[in-house]
């Protein structure tokens, strides 16, 4: 059976998800293909399955006609459901929501989507994000919903022993846009530097999808906070290289700091956990399946910089707690986000519809 995954751009968590699930599903006789509407930095990541990049209707129709797809999974872009029907696709359409950012945006988008989704969707899919699950129940009571964790390949994306960095490192991953809350990361980093004079800050980002107005404020704030000598910005690092960076952060005595206001199911947190890099995060809804406070990571209250600093210091200074969290996080990723378990759930969904 062939399945097509459709999304706007190959970047960030959705590109990672598509790459992982196409490989995982292939072991069970399902051939995954990907269609993106525009080029993105994720195209640098190696794939061994068909990936198409086009927004042209004629080209998309040719892909649909030649692909013989038993199902098409459309991520976020509900308008594509109607578009694919008009292009002649008559099979099963699944709308997947990986996250919209702010909860009010999710409600507005899904409310506006009701006519199209009700007319064309055979199923709804989401990785156990509580506020999205609630909206599914409220807005689409007659469409079967499926909720299961995204897949992760902990065998290939795992800890790599490195020479211990000479300075503690606080890392951040995301886009320079409001929901990722980059400002809070910089303020927390500035406060932590009072306790760790040699602290280094690493920011991993994709400048191609940042918000221009936010980016205009980014460099001035770095200068205002006096962080230029501490901060390293790493743009579009190939996914295959990230285990080395995250392992180094963990071995440095530092951590990954996730400052997002709302998340669907962030891959950056799973990647850090798998590489024994401790995570401090806001309780941004979708992280509830991966982070359990003082067990697999730590939470701080969104907007409370003093609280974030206190939690970060405990995670960096309490060696016993730190090592317990590092070990438990690896075990949780291996068990809860197992790629074979994902394939099992995905096949159950296809059989059900």
- For residue 54 the two structure tokens come to 């086009």
Output the pLDDT for position 99. Answer: 84
**What pTM was estimated for this model as a whole?**
0.91
> Which H helix or E strand runs over 125?
strand 123-126
Q: Is the pLDDT of residue 46 over 90?
A: no
Output the pLDDT for position 47. Answer: 85
> What is the distance between the alpha carbons of residues 265 and 3, in angstroms, rounded to a whole number?
22
Q: Is the pLDDT of residue 69 over 90?
A: yes
Q: How many residues does the chain have?
A: 353
Domains assigned to the chain: 2-151+338-352 (3.40.50.2000), 169-336 (3.40.50.2000)
> What is the distance between the alpha carbons of residues 79 and 74, in angstroms, rounded to a whole number?
9
Output the pLDDT for position 159. Answer: 98
Supply the DSSP string of 145-173, one letter for each residue.
EEE-PPPB-TTTS-----PPPSS-EEEEE
Output the pLDDT for position 42. Answer: 87
Output the pLDDT for position 101. Answer: 83
Supply the DSSP string of 71-121, one letter for each residue.
EEEEES-THHHHHHHHTT--SEEEEE----SSHHHHHHHHHHHHHHHHHH-
Output the pLDDT for position 11. Answer: 86
At 2, phi and psi to the nearest 5? Answer: -105, 140
Rounded average pLDDT over 308-312: 98
| Residues 80, 83, 89, 95, Cα dihedral to 10° | 20
With tokens 């069970």, the residue in question is 28
Q: Is the pLDDT of residue 141 over 90?
A: yes
Output the pLDDT for position 157. Answer: 96
- 277: CB partners within 8 A, 6+ apart: 171, 246, 247, 249, 250, 254, 255, 256, 326
> What is the distance between the alpha carbons of residues 166 and 159, in angstroms, rounded to a whole number?
19
Beta strands in 175-274 (DSSP E): 200-205, 231-235, 255-258
Q: Which residues pair with 2 in a beta bridge?
A: 31, 69
Convert the pLDDT of each residue in 96-140 to its tens digit.
999 888 899 999 999 999 999 999 999 999 999 999 999 999 999
Convert the pLDDT of each residue in 146-178 to its tens digit.
999 999 999 999 999 989 999 999 999 999 999
Q: Which residues pair with 125 in a beta bridge?
A: 96, 146
Output the pLDDT for position 162. Answer: 83
> What is the distance between the alpha carbons of residues 167 and 165, in angstroms, rounded to a whole number?
6
Rounded average pLDDT over 299-304: 98
- For residue 260 the two structure tokens come to 């997002």
> What is the distance between the alpha carbons of residues 195 and 311, in angstroms, rounded to a whole number?
13
Mean pLDDT across the chain: 96
Convert the pLDDT of each residue in 277-292 to its tens digit.
999 999 988 899 999 9
Convert the pLDDT of each residue in 185-223 to its tens digit.
999 999 999 999 999 999 999 898 899 999 999 999 999
Convert the pLDDT of each residue in 18-45 to its tens digit.
999 999 999 999 999 999 999 998 898 8
């Amino acid at each position: 059976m062939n399945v097509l995954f459709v999304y706007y751009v190959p970047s960030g968590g959705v590109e990672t998800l598509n790459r992982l699930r196409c490989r995982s599903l292939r072991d069970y006789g399902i051939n995954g293909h990907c269609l993106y509407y525009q080029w993105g930095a994720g195209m640098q990541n190696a794939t061994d399955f068909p990936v198409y990049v086009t927004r042209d209707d004629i080209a998309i129709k040719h892909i649909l006609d030649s692909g013989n797809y038993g199902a098409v999974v459309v991520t976020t872009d509900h308008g594509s459901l109607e578009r694919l029907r008009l292009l002649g696709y008559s099979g099963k359409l699944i709308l997947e929501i990986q996250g919209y950012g702010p909860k009010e945006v999710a409600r507005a988008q899904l409310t506006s989507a009701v006519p199209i989704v009700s007319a064309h969707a055979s199923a709804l899919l989401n990785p156990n994000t509580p506020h999205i699950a609630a909206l599914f129940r409220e807005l689409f009571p007659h469409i079967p919903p499926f909720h299961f964790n995204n897949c992760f390949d902990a065998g290939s994306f795992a800890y790599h022993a490195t020479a211990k960095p000479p300075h503690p490192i606080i890392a951040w991953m995301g886009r320079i846009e409001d929901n990722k809350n980059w400002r809070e990361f910089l303020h927390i980093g500035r406060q932590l530097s009072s306790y760790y004079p040699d602290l280094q800050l690493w920011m991993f980002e994709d400048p191609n999808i940042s918000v221009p107005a936010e980016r205009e404020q980014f460099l001035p704030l770095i200068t205002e906070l006096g962080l230029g000598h501490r901060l390293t910005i790493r743009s579009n690092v190939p996914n295959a290289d990230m285990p080395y960076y995250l392992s180094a952060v963990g071995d440095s005595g530092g951590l990954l700091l996730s400052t997002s206001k709302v998340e669907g199911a962030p891959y950056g947190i799973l990647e850090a956990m798998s590489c024994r890099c401790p995570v401090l995060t806001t309780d941004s809804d979708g992280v509830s399946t991966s982070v359990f406070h003082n067990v697999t990571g730590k939470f701080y209250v969104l907007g409370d910089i003093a609280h974030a600093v206190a939690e970060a210091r405990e995670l960096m200074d309490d060696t016993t707690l730190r090592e317990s969290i590092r070990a438990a996080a690896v075990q949780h990723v291996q068990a809860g986000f197992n790629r074979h378990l994902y394939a099992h759930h995905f096949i159950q969904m296809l059989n059900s519809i």
